[in-house]
């Protein structure tokens, strides 16, 4: 819905990722959220996923399936939403010092999870980048790594487009070798 409103087009994968972000967000509070709060949490998680996806693109971080946007955007929001919407003791149910302490605890644990993830993943990914094992050739990228590795694309229409692009690049390469 957000993509339709902002870009005037519908994207199936964006919708699926928004739904996955909603599911990730609900994991934190599945046992303490009323249905209306679960709905609100899921909708906001979808928006958070879209925002994180756009931010990662602007930062030049390659996340082709939006796994970071889904899990960080949805998961981070879900951890905070639990403290906001919890039926017994959430900020909206009982505006009290205890509720704010729970919110602070949820925020603190979310920060610890983000720090742990960055601290363990960043060194490994930076080493892989340094040794050149994170990228594939331009031809494989144009063809689609799913097609290259598995013989089929993850998304049929996208795979067909990539295959056509790869064929075009291959034809140009062959023509340049002949002349």
pLDDT digits (tens, 9 = 90+) for 40-96: 999 999 999 999 998 988 988 878 788 999 999 999 999 999 888 888 877 777 777
The CA–CA distances, whole Å, from 72 to 47, 48, 113, 124, 170 equal: 12, 9, 10, 19, 38
**Residue given tokens 């959430």 in the structure block:** 90
Residue 28: its pLDDT value, please?
A: 86
Interatomic CA distance for residues 136 and 148, integer angstroms:
10
Q: Which of 10, 19, 28, 6 is nearest to 105 (CA)?
A: 28
Residue 50 DSSP symbol? H
Residue 62, judged by CB atoms within 10 A of its CB (0-12, 13-18, 19+), counts as exposed
Is the pLDDT at 17 greater than 80? The verdict is yes
Look up residue 174 and give its two tokens.
């062959």
Residue 32: its pLDDT value, please?
A: 87
The predicted-structure confidence for 104-140, as pLDDT tens digits, reads as follows 988 999 999 999 999 999 999 899 989 988 777 777 7
């Amino acid at each position: 819905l957000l993509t339709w409103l902002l870009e005037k087009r519908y994207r199936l994968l964006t919708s699926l990722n928004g739904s996955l972000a909603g599911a990730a967000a609900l994991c934190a509070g599945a046992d303490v959220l009323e249905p209306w709060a679960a709905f609100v949490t899921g909708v906001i998680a979808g928006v958070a996923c879209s925002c994180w996806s756009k931010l990662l693109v602007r930062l030049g971080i390659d996340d082709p399936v939006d796994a970071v946007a889904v899990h960080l955007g949805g998961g981070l929001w879900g951890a905070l939403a639990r403290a906001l919407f919890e039926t017994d003791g959430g900020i909206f149910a009982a505006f009290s010092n205890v509720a704010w302490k729970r919110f602070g605890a949820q925020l603190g644990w979310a920060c610890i999870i983000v720090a742990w993830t960055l601290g363990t993943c960043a060194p490994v990914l930076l080493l892989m980048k340094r040794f050149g094992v994170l990228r594939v050739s331009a031809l494989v990228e144009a063809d689609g790594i799913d097609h290259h590795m598995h013989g089929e694309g993850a998304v049929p229409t996208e795979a067909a487009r990539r295959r056509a692009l790869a064929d075009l690049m291959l034809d140009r390469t062959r023509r340049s070798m002949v002349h």
